[in-house]
Amino acid sequence: MPLSKIQKNFKEMILEPDYSDREQEVFRAMFRQNYGIALENRMKVYRNNIVRGLSDAAMAALPMTRKLVGEAFLEQAMRHYVLQNLPEEGNLTLYGMGFPDFIKEYEPARHLPYLSDFTRLEWAWEAAYYADDDRALDPVLLADISEEKLLHLVFAFRSSFSLLDSVFPLDEIVDFCRADEAEEMHELSNKGAKLMVFRPDLKVEIRKLDESEYKFLKLLQQGQTIERVVVTLLESDPNFNITDLLQKHLRLGTFSDFEMRS
């Protein structure tokens, strides 16, 4: 039997014990059934080790979620996730990034509607932490560009940068999870949260944004020129100030590069 077939059948035997076809039956018959331990019970050892290892790898990215819902709940949810979403590559650093979509449909979490967005935030933090190192754009490079030409600039963002827009107050939940003392979570406000996640140096930061700042960054992230961003945002906010926001994010190190569009 070719190695690829052996690997396929062994995986099915461990992780899909109820699956059976002629090839699988032949493969199972290759294993010795003596020593008084049923083949299925021997496979459970492998199954539990694999699921446990993958669950631990994915749960390592969710320390705040662990505090929020409890160890037992998260372990059970992650076990279901792992069995339905085996890794497709050997590097497990970002294994589990699909968990937010899974938990949204996970029946035992229906009473926690914010959990999908919150785990998405934690995964954004994890992705930022492991993002490629890069350099912030030096504002000096823009010093000699005329005001007219500035309008045609398009900015590239740091590799760690991401935006999140949620109807839930994720920032309040973060504050609760980061509090030192154990306490009951107070009633959440009905405000949503627009957040920016990035790693300007060694530490990942989560910053809350107002509506205009979020739209400003979102439009730039979509590849819009400064001119297009200004025109769009002035339609909804007559007091929008592009200069202040541009200076702020050059100072923060949000951008990595720029180019001139004709």
The model's pLDDT over 200-243, given as tens digits with 9 standing for 90+, comes to: 999 999 999 999 999 999 999 999 999 999 999 999 888 899 99
Residue 48 pLDDT = 85
Looking at per-residue pLDDT, the higher value among 41 and 142 belongs to 142
Neighbours of 55 (CB within 10 A): 21
Residues 86-91 have a mean pLDDT of 85
Residue ending a domain, among 114, 130, 146, is 130
Residue range 187-212: average pLDDT?
93
Residue 1 has pLDDT above 90, yes or no: no
Average pLDDT, integer, range 151-160: 97
Q: What is the pLDDT of residue 181?
A: 66
Mean pLDDT, residues 21-30 taken together: 72
pTM score, two decimals?
A: 0.85
Other beta carbons less than 10 A from residue 201's beta carbon: 9
Range of the domain at 158: 132-262
Strand, coil or helix: 155: strand
Strand partners, 197: 162, 206
Torsion of CA 207, 70, 84, 41, to 10 degrees: 150
Question: Which tokens hold the place of 169?
Answer: 């107050």
Q: Is residue 4 part of a domain?
A: no
Cα–Cα dist 105/237, whole Å: 37
Q: Can you list the alpha helix ranges (DSSP code H) found in the chain? A: 3-15, 22-29, 39-59, 63-69, 71-84, 99-105, 115-130, 147-150, 170-178, 211-221, 226-236, 242-252
Specify whether 262 is located in the same domain as 163. Answer: yes
Q: Look at 195 and 94; give whichever has higher pLDDT.
A: 195
CATH code for the domain of 141: 3.90.930
Q: Within this chain, do residues 141 and 246 fall inside the same structural domain, yes or no?
A: yes
Q: What are the CA-CA distances from residue 216 to residues 109, 200, 249 (Å)?
A: 34, 19, 11
Residue 15 is assigned to a structural domain of this protein: no
pLDDT, position 69: 95
For residues 255 and 152, state if they share a domain.
yes
Q: Is residue 93 part of a domain?
A: yes
Structural tokens at position 159: 């590799």
231, 257: one domain: yes
Comparing 34 with 233, which gets the higher pLDDT?
A: 233
Which of 74, 100, 130 finishes a domain?
Answer: 130
Q: What angle do CA 13, 16, 22 make, to 5 degrees?
A: 60
Place of tokens 């662990």: 66
Determine, yes or no, domain membership for 139.
Answer: yes
Which amino acid, residue 251? R
Contact 195, 207 (CB under 8 A): yes
Higher-scoring residue by pLDDT: 6, 226: 226
What is the model's pLDDT at position 41? Answer: 73
Across the chain, mean pLDDT equals 89
238 is a domain residue: yes
